[in-house]
């Protein structure tokens, strides 16, 4: 530190002035803050080491340079306004973008005062310059973080170490009905509905007191009394000493998901009851029909034309029982051998439709699919379509081949074919030649549900479909 001594009696005023100027000059040179002195045109006539270090120059390089050479062009007007104010005797403090010698941009805080001569005329500027680039970067990061929190689609709540709310974001207010002003100073207990298990709160505070983050589910209550469900992440915030100073909670409103899950659970329960009803009541009735059909066949002569009708009733009943078995048996019992499935469907279809003849062509002995619980429905539907839409006897050929990682099945018949006007929309719901338009739509959904595909193949006569199913 420069020591300014009191003048001696025998020293002249001029000597004293020289000593004082030298002392102040040495003081400015040694200041840790950057110091720059300019004339009225912003030409540098003095800079200290700190100023040179801020801009990455040597002292000799800066002397004589104009300040305009050290700032980007977009800052020239701002600097010119400040220079004009200084010429009228006005002091000011402002931020300024500058450029280091290596081209790196920096931000500085300038505190500038007019520099005057012995006659009190303004002859330039004395400025103290501090590099605040890092501060501005931190400020920008905090601003981005603040915007992210403010615009977050999740609720954000910050409390002190005792759980008193110090901040809530706008989403919290939209969700709960409590404004920022109403929430500040309160405890999150204002949201308690009494429906969250008490053990949840005990576990929450035990985890936080251990310095760990906690995640769990709350059933909370809005200001208007409505209930809502939140998936919450709550974490402690530590200071540099490792002491917990605050807690931050990020909470997602999952009310609609909970409602949807509950509806799905109710629907699943209803489906189970419905399936049980089908398995028990309808299956029993079908069994009665089959037993009576079998008894009737035993009493009717082979030449009796009624026998064919009874056989059709018996075959249709067997088919319905098989479909009930498909839906009723557990997944572990799911049959996956495609060849065996097709053979069984063939037997049932030929028995139910006297005009149907099915030929299976395949060099594959067994084809194991990943899952095939509902595939039988697809083949049953296609064979039934071929039989019902044919005017006489119809022959269906089913060819099964390996196609890379897929099994390809071509099903073709010699029936009347599909009208041209509905081919493009054949698999859409409600599209049909004479039926309900649901069979092919359902078949497509089943095949695609197993990761496969089904398409209509164009041919001169009859109808043909290509089905691809993955083996894994």
One digit per residue, the tens of pLDDT, for the chain of length 472 reads 444 444 444 554 455 445 455 555 666 777 788 999 999 999 999 999 999 999 999 988 998 899 999 999 999 999 999 999 999 999 999 999 999 999 999 999 999 999 998 889 999 999 999 999 999 998 888 888 888 888 888 999 999 999 999 999 999 999 999 999 999 999 999 999 999 999 999 999 999 999 999 999 999 999 999 999 999 999 999 998 999 999 999 999 999 998 888 887 777 776 666 666 666 567 667 777 877 787 887 778 877 888 788 888 877 777 777 777 666 555 444 577 888 889 988 988 888 888 899 999 988 877 778 677 778 888 988 998 888 888 889 999 999 998 888 889 999 999 888 888 888 888 887 666 555 557 788 888 888 888 889 999 877 788 999 999 887 6
Contact by Cβ (8 Å): 47, 62? yes
Contact by Cβ (8 Å): 94, 83? no
| Assigned CATH for 152-253 | 3.30.450.20
Number of alpha carbons in the 13 Å side-chain half-sphere of residue 327: 17
- Domain covering 352-472: architecture: 2-Layer Sandwich (3.30)
**CA 379 – CA 339 distance, rounded (Å):** 11
State how far the alpha carbon of 208 is from the alpha carbons of 43, 214, 236, 237, 238, in Å: 60, 7, 6, 10, 12
Contact by Cβ (8 Å): 308, 316? no
Residue with tokens 């199913």: 469
Q: What letters, b where the CB count within 10 A reaches 16 and e where it falls short, cover 224-248?
A: eeeebbbbbebbbeeeeeeeeebbb
Domains 152-253 and 352-472 share a fold: no
**CA 384 – CA 356 distance, rounded (Å):** 9
**Beta carbons within 8 Å of 167's beta carbon, 6+ residues apart:** 156, 157, 158, 180, 184
Give the DSSP letter string of 362-429. ES-S--B-S--TTHHHHHHHHHHHHHHH-SS-EEEEEEEEEETTEEEEEEEE-S----GGGSTTTTST
Please state the domain extents for the chain.
31-131, 152-253, 260-328, 352-472
CB atoms within 10 A of CB 265: 10
Sign, Cα dihedral of 259, 265, 271, 274: negative
Contact by Cβ (8 Å): 452, 469? yes
- φ, ψ dihedrals at 343, nearest 5°: -65, -40
Assigned token pair, 194: 């009494």
313: region left, alpha or beta (phi > 0 left; psi from -120 to 50 alpha):
alpha
Residue (of 98, 111, 114) closest to 52 by Cα position:
98
Residue (of 212, 282, 198, 202) closest to 244 by Cα position:
212
| Assigned CATH for 31-131 | 3.30.450.20
């Amino acid at each position: 530190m420069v020591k300014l001594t009191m003048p001696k009696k025998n020293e002249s005023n001029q000597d004293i002035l020289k000593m004082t100027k030298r002392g102040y000059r040495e003081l400015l040179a040694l200041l840790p803050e950057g110091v720059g002195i300019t004339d009225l045109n912003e030409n540098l006539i003095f800079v200290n080491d700190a100023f040179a270090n801020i801009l990455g120059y040597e002292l000799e390089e800066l002397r004589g340079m104009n300040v305009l050479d050290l700032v980007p062009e977009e800052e020239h007007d701002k600097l010119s306004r400040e220079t004009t104010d200084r010429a009228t005797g006005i002091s000011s403090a402002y931020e300024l973008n500058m450029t280091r010698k290596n081209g790196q941009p920096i931000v500085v805080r300038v505190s500038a005062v007019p520099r005057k001569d012995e006659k009190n005329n303004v002859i330039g500027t004395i400025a103290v310059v501090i590099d605040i680039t890092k501060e501005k970067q931190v400020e920008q990061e905090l601003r981005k973080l603040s915007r992210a929190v403010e615009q977050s689609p999740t609720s954000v709540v910050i409390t002190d170490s005792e759980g008193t709310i110090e901040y809530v974001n706008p989403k919290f207010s939209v969700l709960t009905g409590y404004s920022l002003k109403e929430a500040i100073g309160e405890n999150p207990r204002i949201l308690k509905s009494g429906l969250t298990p008490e053990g949840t709160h005990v576990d929450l505070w035990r985890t936080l007191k251990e310095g760990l983050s906690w995640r769990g589910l709350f059933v909370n209550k809005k200001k208007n009394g409505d209930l809502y469900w939140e998936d919450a992440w709550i974490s402690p915030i530590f200071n540099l000493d490792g002491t917990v100073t605050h807690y931050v909670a990020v909470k997602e409103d999952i009310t609609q998901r909970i409602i949807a899950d509950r509806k799905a659970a109710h629907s699943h329960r209803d489906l189970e009851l419905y399936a049980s009803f089908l398995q028990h009541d309808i299956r029993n009735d079908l069994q009665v029909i089959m037993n009576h059909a079998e008894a009737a066949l035993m009493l009717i002569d082979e030449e009796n034309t009624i026998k064919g009708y009874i056989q059709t009733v018996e075959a249709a009943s067997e088919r319905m029982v098989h479909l009930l078995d498909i839906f009723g048996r557990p997944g572990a019992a799911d049959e996956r051998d495609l060849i065996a499935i097709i053979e069984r469907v063939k037997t049932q279809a030929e028995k139910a439709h006297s005009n149907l003849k099915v030929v299976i062509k395949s060099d594959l002995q067994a084809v194991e699919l990943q899952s095939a619980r509902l595939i039988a429905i697809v083949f049953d539907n296609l064979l039934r379509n071929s039989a019902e839409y044919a005017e006489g006897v119809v022959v269906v050929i089913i060819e099964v081949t390996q196609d890379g990682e897929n099994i390809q099945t071509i099903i073709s018949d010699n029936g009347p074919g599909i009208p041209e006007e509905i081919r493009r929309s054949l698999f859409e719901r409600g599209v049909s030649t004479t039926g309900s338009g649901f069979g092919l739509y359902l078949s497509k959904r089943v095949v695609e549900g197993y990761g496969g595909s089904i398409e209509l193949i164009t041919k001169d006569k009859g109808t043909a479909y290509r089905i691809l199913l993955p083996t894994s």
